[in-house]
Amino acid sequence: MTRTSLAARTALASAALALLMPLAASAQNVAIVNGKAVPKARVDQLLQQAQRAGQQVIAATADYKAQMELARQSILIRELFEDYKKKNVVGDAEAKAEYDKFKAQNTGTEYRARHILVEGEEDAKALIAQIKGGAKFEDLAKAKSKDPGSGENGGDLDFAKPESYVPEFGAAMTKL
């Protein structure tokens, strides 16, 4: 077992046991897991193991501290989100209005386009010949495109509406 996975398991066990500690003092069976009761004695045993782990050197490692900080941040974010949801209740009418607004703004067909931007028609014809000869479009786009953004992605422009591009390109795209 690596130190990171041991630290992660220890952090998770510590967090789980911290949540169970108040229950352990007041009940014989403190939880039911997969249909089986977890007795107080087992929780006490796990608490002791967690305390021993915390006293050992592992509690001082950077991995352990990082995992504990991530657990703390995760709990904080979840609690802040729950608090926000309680204070900002969204009704069905509001949700539908937002949906309708989004839907109205996002009408029209989107196309997924790829291209290789070159200087002139001769360069384009040479690339077409290479593609017809078996060369991969993506490889040629990475090597030859003058558009660094799409060139790095194999010529992929992702999904967009024709109006997102220069008129000539948008019009040509819809005719393919």
> pLDDT of 25-56, one tens digit each?
555 877 777 888 888 888 888 888 877 776 66
Same domain, 14 and 77: yes
Angular region, 35: left φ>0, alpha ψ -120 to 50, beta rest = left
pTM of the shown model = 0.42
Residue 38: inside a domain = yes
94 in a domain, yes or no? Answer: no
Residue 128: per-residue pLDDT: 94
Q: Is residue 103 part of a domain?
A: no
Domain extent at residue 79: 3-87
Query: Does 57 score more than 70 pLDDT?
Result: no
Q: Are residues 120 and 63 in the same domain?
A: no
Residues 27 and 80 in one domain: yes
- Asked if pLDDT for residue 6 goes beyond 80, the answer is no
Nearest alpha carbon to residue 62 among 1, 2, 7, 6: 7
CATH of the domain at 143: 3.10.50.40
Contacts of 117 (CB under 8 A, 6+ apart): 145, 146, 147, 150, 151
Query: Do both 83 and 145 map to the same domain?
Result: no
pLDDT in tens, 142-156: 999 998 888 888 999
Question: What pLDDT, on a 0 to 100 scale, did the predictor assign at position 176?
Answer: 84
Q: What are phi and psi of 25, to 5 degrees?
A: -75, -20
**Are 73 and 126 found together in one domain?**
no
- Asked if the structure places residue 93 within a domain, the reply is no
Domain annotation covers residue 78: yes
In the predicted model, is pLDDT for residue 137 greater than 90?
yes
Q: Look at the chain and count its residues.
A: 176
Tell which of 87, 121, 155 closes a domain.
Answer: 87
- Do 78 and 141 belong to one domain? no
pLDDT tens column, 69-114: 999 999 999 999 999 999 999 999 999 999 999 988 888 888 999 9
Measured distance CA(67)–CA(166) in Å, rounded: 49
Residues 160 and 118 in one domain: yes
Number of domain units in the chain: 2
Q: What pLDDT shows up at residue 107?
A: 80
pLDDT the model gives residue 43: 81
Closest alpha carbon to 143 in 133, 160, 130: 130
Minimal CA–CA distance to 127: which of 171, 67, 118? 118
Report the distance separating Cα 46 and Cα 24, nearest Å: 11
**82 & 158 share domain:** no
Claim to verify: residue 16 and residue 78 sit in the same structural domain: yes
Q: Tell me, yes or no, whether 17 and 78 share the same domain.
A: yes
CB 108 within 8 A of CB 174: no
